[in-house]
Amino acid sequence: MAGKDQHSFPFGKRNGLLAAAAMCANVTGYLLLRIPPAEGFASLTLAPVFLVAGYCVLMPAALLVRDPGRTSPAAKGAQR
């Protein structure tokens, strides 16, 4: 079936690992926010670093990075 090739999943193993790392960083950041005292090092410094890394670095990287061996369905159609 020719139509089946057009609907392949665009993300690979690397994207999944980056998304998992982003989720772990976000959960760690929120857990660090709960550590008392509220004015402590973990709540004021470490938690924001983990949250920014998770939301602003790792999650966009998980969406934008491509695996070296994967080609898009449009590129496969152009090669035929």
DSSP string, 8-19: -----HHHHHHH
- Which SS3 state, helix, strand or coil, does residue 17 take? helix
**Residue 77 belongs to some domain of the structure:** no
pTM (predicted TM-score): 0.75
**Residue 63 belongs to some domain of the structure:** yes
**Residue 20 belongs to some domain of the structure:** yes
Question: Residue 27, Cβ neighbours under 10 Å: how many?
Answer: 13
Instruction: Spell out the alpha helix ranges (H) of 1-80.
Output: 13-33, 41, 47-52, 59-64, 73-79
**Residue with tokens 């990075």, as numbered in its chain:** 65
Residue 7 pLDDT: 72
Question: Residue 29, Cβ neighbours under 10 Å: how many?
Answer: 19
Residue 40 DSSP one-character state: S
pLDDT tens digits, residue range 30-49? 999 998 898 999 899 999 99
Residue 67 pLDDT: 78
Q: pLDDT higher for 70 or 4? A: 70
Of the pLDDT bands very low, low, confident and very high (cuts 50, 70, 90), residue 4 is low
Q: pLDDT higher for 13 or 75? A: 13
Q: Per the structure, how many domains does the chain have?
A: 1
Residue 18 pLDDT: 96
**Residue 2 belongs to some domain of the structure:** no
